[in-house]
Amino acid sequence: MSLDDIKKLLSLERIREKIFKIENMYHPNLVANLSKEMYDLYLIRNSICNQLLVLLNQKDIEIDKVLDFIKEKIKNSEKRLKVAKNGTEAEEIKAAIEEWKQFL
C-alpha cells in the first residue's frame, strides 16, 4: 500500500468521522424541541450525512468519487438557487450549499 493510498483512506475516514460527529450532535429526544431554523438545518445535515454514508459504504469507493459527488451536489444546488422562488427556499438552498462545502 502506497503513501497515496493511505492518504486516500484517511480522507475517507475523516469524512466518516465528520458524519458521525454531526449525527451525535442531535439527541433524538431533543430534535423535536429545535426551533424551525435549527430543525431545517438538522434536516439538511441529516440528508447530507445519509447520502454520504450510502456512497461511503459502496465497495471500493475512492475519495475522488466522493469529492466529485459533493461538488456535483453543490453545483446542482447553485442552479436551484438561481431559480428559487422565495427567500425561504433560497435560504435553505444556501444553507445546504454551505453544509456540503464543509465536506470538501
Enumerate the domain spans of the chain: 3-101
Q: What is the pLDDT of residues 12-22, one digit of tens each?
A: 999 999 999 99
Question: What contacts 19, CB < 8 A, 6 or more positions away?
Answer: 49, 52, 53, 56
Tally of helices (H runs) and strands (E runs) in the chain: 5, 0
Q: What is the pLDDT of residues 7-52, one digit of tens each?
A: 988 999 999 999 999 999 988 888 889 999 999 999 999 999 999 9
Which cell is 27 given? 439527541
